Amino acid sequence: MAKLGNENITWTVSVVFCFFLSLVLATASTGDEGFDKELEVEKLFKKLNKPAVKSIKSPDGDMIDCVHILNQPAFDHPKLKNHKIQMRPKFLPKGIRRLGESKPIPQMWHQSGSCPKGTVPIRRTTKDDILRADSIQQSGKKISHSILDLSGSLNSASSTHEYAVATLTGDRYYGAHASINIWKPNVQQSDEFSLSQIWITNHDDPKNHETIEAGWQIYPGIYGDDNPRLFTYWTRDSYNNTGCYNLRCPGFVQVDPTVVVGSSLQNNISVYGGSQYVLSIHIRKDQTTGNWWMHVGNTSVGYWPDSLFNHMSVGASHVKWGGEIVNKGSNGQHTTTGMGSGHFPEEGYGKASFFKHISIVNANNDLVSPKNFNPYVTNAYCYNITSYDYSNDSGVYFYYGGPGRNSNCP
């Protein structure tokens, strides 16, 4: 039998030792990275979830924490350290009460309890919510993407976002209103979304668009399910570094104890050819304090302090109403993610999604109907919008939406 010489034995032992040393170091390195990520997740988890006076388990699985109004996440923002809470708007725009939409939309967590006086209800962020993001730093945020520019056309930083919107520009705007029927369109994959909302934006700085947004959305990547949910968003730098969904970062100050921003609306989904359930959103600038208030129905939910923004103190330069989806184009095909009801606007009432009672707040604090919309769609074969119309029952309205992939939208 052949024997290894001493040199060969030494060489073999060295190779084996180096292999095991590299394996140990790689395992240790991977372990350190995993440990560091776990610590980072735990730190963000504790930062986002403030101590609760009371916690309520919603039937849809959400945990709602009743947090003392002074302990909410908004006041972690450096510009809000000494902020004095405005408990209610100084006054409402003339005309809002004539809309006759005083009932707030019911949310599922209401079936399990209510928050005590002096607290605000906040949907608890789970560790899974944090881990679903592309990175921990992006948790609860939009990734910088395509933005509708001054003319209403697409300023493409990315081609994945598609729109069917009505845009108003050419003046200064101090608020906007609309009633939107709630649907549950298909969302093909977790990193896509479908939303219907109002955008109030300022484009005075072309490099840093400022936006305030609210409506309903389906976004599995944020919430972990495909339920339609009430949501808000804000940014002052074109989604690059500032702002987030709902209360996932400091900014939006909530004062109402009955409405959870980010809560499910799945008990209020419109039925194709049947009952229509409507979400009424009103955003407007308090001309005394400068804060931008959000109302759901006639409930004053809370506000974005004027100090969050650089240019919104002079009002908005654009208002948009409509739908947006993300199309990842998996396998080279257009997404089947639907917008609105998932049906084209030509199908009309009860089948297509609509915006009605569309209004803006002017410099005189009057709630008035706009008259010069600019409709814009990225691909009319996938999603479309009708011209606006008027009726005594619905005020100014339009239909929008679509199914995504179909024989004309491959």
Instruction: Dump pLDDT digits (tens) for 282-320.
Output: 999 999 999 999 999 989 999 999 999 999 999 999 999
Question: Which two tokens mark 309?
Answer: 């923004």
In whole angstroms, what is the distance from residue 385 CA to residue 308 CA? Answer: 33
- Grouping H, G, I as helix, E, B as strand and the rest as coil, residue 222 is helix
Q: What is the DSSP string of 4-38?
A: --HHHHHHHHHHHHHHHHHHHHHHHHHHHHHHHHH
As a whole number, mean pLDDT of residues 220-228 equals 95
Q: Which range, of 40-44, 58-62, 321-325, 371-375, averages the lowest pLDDT?
A: 40-44
Higher-confidence residue: 1 or 277?
Answer: 277
pTM score: 0.87
DSSP strand pairing (395-401 vs 384-385)? antiparallel
pLDDT of residue 13: 42
Supply the pLDDT for residue 1.
43
Average pLDDT of the residues of the chain:
87
Percent of the chain with pLDDT over 70: 83
Evaluate the CA torsion angle 143, 148, 79, 285 in order and state its sign.
negative
Quick: pLDDT tens for 10-33.
Answer: 444 454 444 445 544 544 555 666
Average pLDDT of the residues in 173-177:
97
Average pLDDT over residues 90-108: 66
Write the pLDDT tens digit of every residue in 113-153: 999 999 999 999 999 988 887 666 667 777 655 455 434 44
Backbone angles phi, psi at 339, to 5 degrees: -115, 140
Residue 235's CB: how many other CB atoms inside 10 A?
A: 24
- Residue for token pair 């484009």: 203
**pLDDT tier for residue 96 given thresholds of 50, 70 and 90:** low
Specify the higher pLDDT residue, 42 or 269: 269
Q: Taking the CA atoms of 142, 143, 149 and 152 in sequence, report the sign of the dihedral they define.
A: negative
> Cα–Cα distances in Å, from 262 out to 55, 179, 184, 217, 245?
16, 18, 15, 9, 8
Count of C-beta atoms within a 10 Å radius of residue 20? 10
Give the per-residue SS3 of 145-159: CCEECCCCCEECCCC
For the cut 90, the answer to whether the pLDDT of residue 360 exceeds it is yes
Residues 217, 279: Cα–Cα separation, whole Å:
12
User: 224: helix, coil or strand?
Assistant: coil
Residue 4 has pLDDT above 80, yes or no: no
Percent of the chain with pLDDT over 90: 72
**pLDDT, greater one: 6 or 395:** 395
- Identify which of 173, 213, 177, 175 has the alpha carbon closest to the alpha carbon of residue 195: 213
Q: Which helix (H) or strand (E) holds 280?
A: strand 278-285
Q: What is the pLDDT of residue 9?
A: 40
Can you tell me the mean pLDDT for 368-382?
Answer: 93
What pLDDT is stored for residue 45 in this prediction? 80
3-state secondary structure of 235: strand
- Does the structure show a pLDDT above 50 at 8? no
**Cα dihedral sign, 263-267-268-269:** positive
Pick the range with the lowest mean pLDDT from 3-7, 199-203, 266-270: 3-7
Q: How far, rounded to the nearest angstrom, does the alpha carbon of residue 259 sit from its chain's CA centroid?
A: 16
- The catalytic site residues sit at 213, 324
Decide which of 306 and 99 is more confident.
Answer: 306
